[in-house]
Structure 1
């Protein structure tokens, strides 16, 4: 779609232009301060910040650091002058001394299975609960798919495959082929099992369709698990126990029931399925719930004309924290994920604030949201989207930074979930000024669009993007460095080796900041309201449209009600 740009680009042109490429070429991308950007990453991911887990000392250090940084840049606190938005949270801690028997097989915590309970129940005691295999655990009328058809799940535990049928049969026309839908995400599977009245839900881990190894499950799902404080009705509906089982142990479980996991997995991809195992589960462990507040950090740079209209930048400040049960290094520093993204929005904020102080403010306002609890299920962004400091009806777009590019400059530019909204056109045009081509992610089956904070806003119809990096090195030197650094960082996702490295080449990250900067600058100085394309999950919430006139109008059906 041809983007309709402002009648006059006030900050750069005395003449008018309707060509986005010309606009972007004329705009000045600032020289981002690499030393400062690097120092932010190094500080936030240092041992002193203790892995930045919500509700810990590491959080307080992070909140102080970010509030000071935004204030120093000249941004105002978005919450009546405060930079903090309180996010009511509850931490559930399941005992590591779990007694778990599935089909008579003893399961060992961490090694074989990871279970938790998101209830303030002190003790989980489940005895003789029937086990039911429910395929992918999907109820999707638009795909004529219901794995729960004809089964009453009350008092039963669902065993569920990860991802969705399109991954297993990408050429079958089922779902969206290899690209994961939201139905493939673990969050959805627990939500749907709860809606079905199940007592519990256990996902069968498989590295390929999950897009991460068992170590990620073990590291992410053990220890205190944060969640939002839910209303009593929603809380009461939630399954009593949820978690993951290794594929090896799931196979043994099905074998004990006289069934073949491989055969049932094949059947599950071909059509909806549920099969009772005629076996039961015994599960017992102590559980503790602790209520406290965590915080989003929210800072605003007011616009000069359309102050009420907001463009958001998001990045999560949290990581996994400290695992005292481990020997050796116990701190999950989270340098790449996501000290680098936080450093990115700080640098973008500083540059836009500097531009405004020099007499070139943006027409629309920019707000920077450093979110809490992303690693626990997008908690901070979910809370902000449901309780926005600025109405979502006035929120034009969201640009999300999560794990910026440490692998050198690229000739392409990845837009995760490419093809969803008109907002992507701004990124593609900005990338073209760097002689880069906008492309889809290389592994859409990983479901990246649903795994970071922008998704919380997409669910309410706000165009939101997650982009950066690429797969094609810009030159031979970049190619050699990329291969070397990929090897060094192998296995570091959600692991203790995600630490700052002085030998990181951050030129690719700075390149990406320039794309986001230009895209936001153009959109902030326009009257355009991007929308979602037909055929996407969010089109009905804020549809894409090309106005007949050259003065784009705010869509009449912009909604803040969100997806049901």
Structure 2
């Protein structure tokens, strides 16, 4: 009965999927057919639980200290991966003495923050927000706050008209002015202009020599939640993505509650000025006598991370490349607690390493793929997909020759939906850029693996947005077809209880073997993938 109900569910799910832009159904293989036993299947058979477990055991041990980027534990993990590649006798990249691609990062944090208005102290995070990666060290001592509406400088509406803002601390509302009917003043319709964001406002403030912008945030709590990571602990930024602080203006975001406390009775003047902007469609600057003192001291620490690369050159199609990825970093330690990240993502890391080992075993026997294959363990995923972002912007091999990215993240366990299944995987992104990739993965699965493939999280309106949350997305953003294998979220996600004892090794092995077979099939097929 359960099987019958599942088939009905899948059938109607497939009907719904026909109306969806991307696949979001469940694909169940024919369980009565046997896998085809050919040379590819026999190669995949070299992937076993023994070596998967040996590698994962070290990566998810306390000795790696949670593998957080910029820590000793991350370096220990990277060195172990490189040593293991040497043990597998995988050759290093040409003209390289190691397996590493160095990635330059920096830690940004506040050493100290203080802000007072008319002698009353306010607190970072609770009352105001200063985002460290978007600001530099700052000192303010002024007796006047200049209200400049929305900080806009456009032909039809200009808050800077007749104002000398050099060296001033200005106060502005977020967003842009509207009319009483609700239309945007600058566009004259219901569509906002580019002035709704902060980028243009920062450039205008810099042009006029503003010292600091204080932004009134109506959605202060949302902003605090969105920037939680950088407010409570140092944030990592790719060096190439650092803001040019010489062309930047420091900004502080304040809550409406803090605004009321700062202004007191003077808030009536501010409200009146805003009303006049709405009524007349013209700027209404206001000088507010307030003693503001602020001192924010920033710390920037440069660090070096490492992506780890194992390259297997192809034969007649060697200039075309398949890249397999998994991130090896995790979230480190909190006090004495170690977040070992056995599933997230020591599982994907060991999986990529076993595929690399199998490719080298094949090479040792004179069996090589037609296309080249790059097995890459990337760093900095937990900090914002930074290692893969670096690679796609500083590629070792031309992106124009990269046919596909195959990514694996958290493939060692199961969520509540598939807790008892040893043959399933969620598949995300397979038809976003190439329906051909989606069909080929299904073909490989029906021929060999016989996994239940669940595309639920591939739906464009999936609230989890997993398509955007792992390293494949950086490749997809560059127009490279990408497929992401994932086993779902469980109760130990980002907790100290994500340990090796909970890895489901039979199920884990089945997914890694399937990914190898997909890789091998893509590497040896005649045609390139057809893009949508």
TM-score (norm 2): 0.65
Separation (CA, whole Å) in 1 of partners of 2:428 and 2:214: 32
1:352 aligns with 2:370: no
In structure 1, the partner of 2:465 is 447
Q: Does the 8 A contact of 1:348 with 1:517 survive in 2?
A: yes
Provide, for residues 367-412 of structure 1, a one-character-per-residue CA deviation record: whole Å limited to 9, x for no partner. Answer: 1121122222222111111111111111111111222241253665
In structure 1, the partner of 2:433 is 421
TM-aligned CA distance change 1:101 to 1:40, over 3 Å: farther
- Measured after TM superposition, the shift of residue 65 of structure 1 is 0.6
1:59 aligns with 2:74: yes
TM-aligned CA distance change 1:330 to 1:526, over 3 Å: same
1:460 aligns with 2:478: yes
* The structure with more helix, counted as a fraction of residues: 2
1:70 aligns with 2:85: yes
Separation (CA, whole Å) in 2 of partners of 1:83 and 1:457: 21
- Measured after TM superposition, the shift of residue 304 of structure 1 is 2.6
In structure 2, the partner of 1:374 is 381
Q: Does the 8 A contact of 2:444 with 2:521 survive in 1?
A: no
- Structure 2 gap segments, 5+ residues each: 1-32, 176-196, 207-212, 268-283
Matches within 5 A, 1:34-53: 34-53=49-68
Partner residue of 2:368 out of 347, 358, 361: 361
Separation (CA, whole Å) in 1 of partners of 2:315 and 2:362: 12
Equivalenced residue count is 423
Separation (CA, whole Å) in 1 of partners of 2:338 and 2:294: 30
Separation (CA, whole Å) in 1 of partners of 2:404 and 2:107: 31
Q: Residue 530 of structure 1 aligns to a residue in which SS?
A: coil
Separation (CA, whole Å) in 1 of partners of 2:299 and 2:85: 36
- Measured after TM superposition, the shift of residue 416 of structure 1 is 2.4
Separation (CA, whole Å) in 1 of partners of 2:383 and 2:198: 14
In structure 2, the partner of 1:270 is none
Q: Does the 8 A contact of 2:426 with 2:488 survive in 1?
A: yes
Separation (CA, whole Å) in 2 of partners of 1:120 and 1:315: 32
TM-aligned CA distance change 1:64 to 1:289, over 3 Å: same
1:222 aligns with 2:238: no
Q: Residue 301 of structure 2 aligns to a residue in which SS?
A: strand
TM-aligned CA distance change 1:413 to 1:231, over 3 Å: closer
- Measured after TM superposition, the shift of residue 108 of structure 1 is 5.0
Which of the two has higher C-alpha Rg?
2
Matches within 5 A, 1:69-468: 69-78=84-93, 80-81=95-96, 82-95=98-111, 97-99=112-114, 108=123, 115-118=130-133, 121-123=136-138, 218=228, 222-230=232-240, 234=244, 236=246, 240=250, 284-323=295-334, 326=335, 329-407=336-414, 408=419, 409=421, 413-417=425-429, 419-422=431-434, 423-432=437-446, 433-441=449-457, 444-468=462-486
Provide, for residues 439-476 of structure 1, a one-character-per-residue CA deviation record: whole Å limited to 9, x for no partner. Answer: 131782222222221122222212122223369xxxxx
Separation (CA, whole Å) in 1 of partners of 2:250 and 2:85: 41
Matches within 5 A, 1:477-496: 486-487=490-491, 489=492, 492-493=493-494, 495=495
- Measured after TM superposition, the shift of residue 503 of structure 1 is 3.5
Matches within 5 A, 1:524-535: 524-532=523-531
- Measured after TM superposition, the shift of residue 54 of structure 1 is 2.4
Q: Residue 318 of structure 1 aligns to a residue in which SS?
A: coil
TM-aligned CA distance change 1:233 to 1:406, over 3 Å: closer
TM-aligned CA distance change 1:406 to 1:126, over 3 Å: farther
Separation (CA, whole Å) in 2 of partners of 1:242 and 1:75: 51
Matches within 5 A, 1:548-559: none
- Measured after TM superposition, the shift of residue 354 of structure 1 is 1.7
- Measured after TM superposition, the shift of residue 366 of structure 1 is 0.9
1:521 aligns with 2:520: yes
- Measured after TM superposition, the shift of residue 288 of structure 1 is 0.7
Separation (CA, whole Å) in 1 of partners of 2:299 and 2:107: 8
- Measured after TM superposition, the shift of residue 345 of structure 1 is 0.7
Separation (CA, whole Å) in 1 of partners of 2:376 and 2:234: 24
- Structure 1 gap segments, 5+ residues each: 1-20, 135-148, 161-188, 259-275, 472-485, 533-543, 545-564
Q: Alignment RMSD, CA only?
A: 4.6
Separation (CA, whole Å) in 2 of partners of 1:524 and 1:190: 46
Separation (CA, whole Å) in 2 of partners of 1:190 and 1:394: 37
Provide, for residues 531-558 of structure 1, a one-character-per-residue CA deviation record: whole Å limited to 9, x for no partner. Answer: 54xxxxxxxxxxx3xxxxxxxxxxxxxx
Q: Residue 61 of structure 1 aligns to a residue in which SS?
A: helix
- Measured after TM superposition, the shift of residue 110 of structure 1 is 6.6
Separation (CA, whole Å) in 2 of partners of 1:335 and 1:131: 52
- Measured after TM superposition, the shift of residue 285 of structure 1 is 3.0
Q: Does the 8 A contact of 1:312 with 1:395 survive in 2?
A: yes
Q: Does the 8 A contact of 1:412 with 1:470 survive in 2?
A: no
Separation (CA, whole Å) in 1 of partners of 2:471 and 2:451: 28
